[in-house]
C-alpha cells in the first residue's frame, strides 16, 4: 500500500490562475518531505525539501506547506504558466531508512492558454 497519497490525480487550469496540489502521507518516522516536478520525457527535478520542523518553503512561484501533525503537505503554484504543465510528485523520506524515499503517484497538471 502506497504510504504517500496525492490529489487530485490530474488537474487542468487556465494560464495565470493559481492552484494547490495535496499530499497526505502515513510514512513514519518522518525525516523530510520533497516536491518534485517531472516534465514529460524527463527525470524528476526537485522543487522544495522540508524537514519536520519547517512548515513552509518557497521556490519562486512554488510554495510548499507541511503540517507534520496531520501528515499533510500542499504545493501552491501562483500565476501559472504554460511551462508549469508537468507531473508533480510528493516524496517522503524515512528518518531511519538509509535514505529510502517513498514516492507518491503524482498529480498531472495541464495549464492551458
Partner 1 sequence: DAGITQSPRHKVTETGTPVTLRCHQTENHRYMYWYRQDPGHGLRLIHYSYGVKDTDKGEVSDGYSVSRSKTEDFLLTLESATSSQTSVYFCAIRANNEQFFGPGTRLTVL
Q: Which residues bind partner 1 (CB under 8 A)?
A: 2, 4, 34, 41-46, 49, 89, 99-106
As measured in angstroms, the least distance from the Cβ of 105 to partner 1 is: 5
Given the complex with partner 1, which of 89 and 111 has the nearer CB atom? 89
- Minimum CB distance to partner 1, residue 5 (Å): 10
C-alpha cell at 18: 493559481
The full DSSP string for 32-68 is EEEEEEE-TTS--EEEEEEETT--EEEETTEEEEEET
Residue 113 CB, shortest distance to partner 1, in Å, is 27
Smaller CB separation from partner 1, 77 or 89: 89
Alpha carbon separation from 109 to 40, 78, 93, 101 (Å, rounded): 11, 13, 24, 23
Q: 8 or 16, CB closer to partner 1?
A: 8
Cβ atoms of residues 4 and 23 within 8 Å: yes
Amino acid at each position: 500500500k502506497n504510504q504517500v497519497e496525492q490529489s487530485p490525480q490530474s488537474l487542468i487550469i487556465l494560464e495565470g490562475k493559481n492552484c494547490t496540489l495535496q499530499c497526505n502521507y502515513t510514512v513514519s518516522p518522518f525525516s523530510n518531505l520533497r516536491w518534485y516536478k517531472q516534465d514529460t520525457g524527463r527525470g524528476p527535478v526537485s522543487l522544495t525539501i522540508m524537514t519536520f520542523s519547517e512548515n513552509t518553503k518557497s521556490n519562486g512561484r512554488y510554495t510548499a506547506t507541511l503540517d507534520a501533525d496531520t501528515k499533510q503537505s500542499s504545493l501552491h503554484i501562483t500565476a501559472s504558466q504554460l511551462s508549469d504543465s508537468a507531473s508533480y510528485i510528493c516524496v517522503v523520506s524515512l528518518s531511519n531508512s538509509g535514505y529510502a524515499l517513498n514516492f507518491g503517484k503524482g498529480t498531472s497538471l495541464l495549464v492551458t492558454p
